[in-house]
Amino acid sequence: MDKRFQRVKVQETNTEARYERGLVGDILHTLKGNRLAMLCVVILVIITLMAILAPLSPYDPDAQDYMAILQPPSSEHWFGTDELGRDYFTRALYGGRISLTVGFLSMLLSVTIGTLIGTFSGYMGGKVDTLLMRFTDLFMSVPSMMLMVVINAIFPPKLYSVIIILGLFEWCQVARITRAETLALKQRDYVIAAKHLGASHKRIIFKHIIPNMSSSIIVAGSLAVARAILTESALSFLGLGVQLPKASWGTMLQSAQMYMTDVPTLAVFPGVFIMLTVFSFNILGDALRVALEPKMIK
Amino acid sequence: MKKYIVKRVIGLIPLLLVVSIFSFLILQAAPGSPIDNYMQPGMTEEQIEALKEEYGLNGSIAEQYWYWLKHVLQGDMGTSISKNRPVTELIAERLPATVSLMGASLLISIVCSIPLGLIAGLHKDRPMDKVISTITYFGISIPPFWIAMISVIIFAIKLRWFPTGGMHSLDVESTADTLWHMVLPACVLSLNHTAVYTKYIRSNTISQLEEDYVVTAVSKGTNKNIILFRHVLKNCLLPIITLIGMNIAGLVCGSFIIENIFSWPGIGRLCMEAVGGRDYPVIMGYTMFSCLILIVGNLVADALYAVADPRIREGMGRK
């Protein structure tokens, strides 16, 4: 029995400490305690910086040099050159810009849609809730990747349409998480108090419920970026995602497929970037989930 | 149990309907009218009208959808534009290849993930667990098409252990040859799922080990292996069946990509050829069929779960 009391006490002190730190402080605290997660943040910062600072590269990503095609990595061209003699390292940097943009924007879209649907569904309860959750389940069991392939096969994809399609197919998990949280939050005293004080539904949802789920939303967002980047790269690889002349990492791999026998390095680099980015977002998301979810505190 | 399965079948009908409506609308929105495929130059207005009548293309969208759905339900998914053969026939021809690839990769995933998950769960937070967990994170994060390319480069081009693609060597028709061709695609396809299952079994093992019945067994001095294999493993495996059912969508999408990289002659490859040739009836047929695989897979998983779980099996038997 003593042990159990102790556990409750530890939990209480933990909760208090977290309250004092605030959300951002809490995230930083988590990262300090988890070396692998910290490493992932560093990797992500480096990859993002590289993408942002891509114009600093001495090469133009589209400048073709027919005297130097398909060269192996050298001190001049760090990743070698592609089939048109373009500097592959510079192209990978610019590819990162597109992959990360697609990942982030579609995550914002899917998290927004998911949060709105989930919160609304959980808050309303009853028939609306049942109906919306049925709809979400239905959407979840649809093989989304295939439908994306079909849509993109029929309507030539543009950068923005890829972002929108990814966003529209990825919101279900966020909706489920936020709905569950809303169901719990709406029973809280402060929400009930706000209701009795005459706060409008809109105010309760946006001021009291959504801000209190921010940690879950951040976790879901991190995992959603990982999924979006992975799906985008697969679509682009099949030639159904980001189209040339714009090249994401997936598009680069599509062109690299033709030179697999002669210049395998072309296939290696963009894939390593995708893997590192997705890996980091996945680890980060899970590390934050363990740290931010109160029940997981041991 | 019958009742349970019937209930599940009814629950899956809306999914098929939604996908069919979606497929139909896409077909409608595609550039060019479907009638263009059947028209020949120099046809008169009346002839075109007659054609529309024949293919059910006159009337409102709802009517057209009904006509199309009726045909799909009868197993008629239209005729391929580029190959001039019934879509159903084309799919039936390619289906065994896809199903065997999926089956093989599922088998690999299950065989690999159970020991990995158990070991990781038993060694929670110790180096062994950390290594396995990190590997699973890589398994989830690696783009399957990329690992396919890399494995082709390493195992097929450099080491020449396996063929780069296809299902048979020229003029060879033996099971061993097919299996040999299947090794790379099946392994690559299973990677992602192995990681997902391992993660799941690990967390399940951890939570099962904390259960009271394990504590009781330990305090009674039961052999550790008996606890592990008789009790924990049994309770871990049950939910895996559901998980497999849920992951069939991933398997369908994954095989689409893998078939295309390894030129595996399955329905995914068929669809990609159709995408290249703008062969809409085949694309739609593929979409509908993949959903069917998904639904059948889910049903099988549910039925297995019902058979394995006494709560459902007997609960339904009593009623």
The domains of chain B, with CATH numbers, are 87-318 (1.10.3720.10)
User: CA angle at residue A280 from A278 to A281, to 5 degrees?
Assistant: 65
Chain A residue with minimum CA distance to B295:
A141
Q: Which residues of B touch A267 (CB under 8 A)?
A: 146, 149-150, 153
Query: What pLDDT, in 10s, does the model give residues B223-243?
Result: 888 888 878 887 877 778 878
pLDDT at A31 over 50: yes
Nearest CA among A6, A212, A242 for reference residue A106: A242
Q: Which residues of A touch B131 (CB under 8 A)?
A: none
A122-126, A221-225, B235-239, B271-275: segment of lowest average pLDDT: B235-239
Q: What DSSP string runs through B52-69?
A: HHHHT-SS-HHHHHHHHH
pLDDT at A114 over 90: yes
Nearest to A234 among B145, B157, B286 (CB): B145
Rounded to the nearest angstrom, the minimum Cα separation between B73 and chain A is 19
Question: What crossing angle do the helices spanning A144-154 and B2-29 adopt, rounded to 10°?
Answer: 20
Q: Which residue matches tokens 């259960």?
A: B211
What confidence category does residue A255 fall into, taking pLDDT thresholds of 50, 70 and 90?
confident
What confidence category does residue A298 fall into, taking pLDDT thresholds of 50, 70 and 90?
very low
Kindly report the average pLDDT of chain A as a whole number: 82
Q: Which residues of A touch B18 (CB under 8 A)?
A: 138, 142
- Please enumerate in sequence order all residues whose Cβ is within 8 A of that of B171, keeping only pairs 6 or more positions apart, or say none: none
Query: What pLDDT, in 10s, does the model give residues A38-70?
Result: 888 899 999 999 888 878 777 777 777 777 777
Please tell me which residue, A231 or B175, carries the higher pLDDT value. Answer: A231
Residues of chain B with pLDDT below 50 are 317-319
pLDDT at A104 over 90: yes
Please tell me which residue, A71 or B264, carries the higher pLDDT value. Answer: B264
* Cα B190 from Cα B196, distance rounded (Å): 10
* Cα A253 from Cα A274, distance rounded (Å): 10
What confidence category does residue A106 fall into, taking pLDDT thresholds of 50, 70 and 90?
very high
Chain B residue with minimum CA distance to A268:
B150
pLDDT score for B314: 63
pLDDT score for B31: 66
Class of domain A96-298: mainly alpha
